[in-house]
Amino acid sequence: MSAKIKNRHLLKEKEIKNLIYELSKTFHGQLFDTNALVETGLIEHFSMILVNGNIDFFMKEGRAFFTLAGVNKYALKEQYVVVDMGAIKFVTNGADIMGPGIVDADPNIKEDDLVWVCDEKYRKPLAVGVALVSGEAMRSKKTGKAVKNIHYVGDELWNLMR
Question: Range(s) for CATH 2.30.130.10 in the chain?
Answer: 80-161
- In which band, very low, low, confident or very high, does the pLDDT at 40 lie, cut at 50, 70 and 90? very high
Statement: residue 30 has pLDDT above 80: no
Where along the chain do the CATH 3.10.450.120 domains lie? 6-73
CATH for the 80-161 domain, from 2.30.40.10, 2.30.130.10, 3.10.50.40, 3.40.1710.10: 2.30.130.10
Residue 143 DSSP class: S
Q: How far apart are alpha carbons 147 and 6 in whole angstroms?
A: 31
pTM for the full model?
Answer: 0.91
Q: Write the CATH number of the domain with boundaries 6-73.
A: 3.10.450.120
Mean pLDDT value across the chain = 92
Measured CA to CA, the distance from residue 60 to residue 66 in angstroms comes to 11
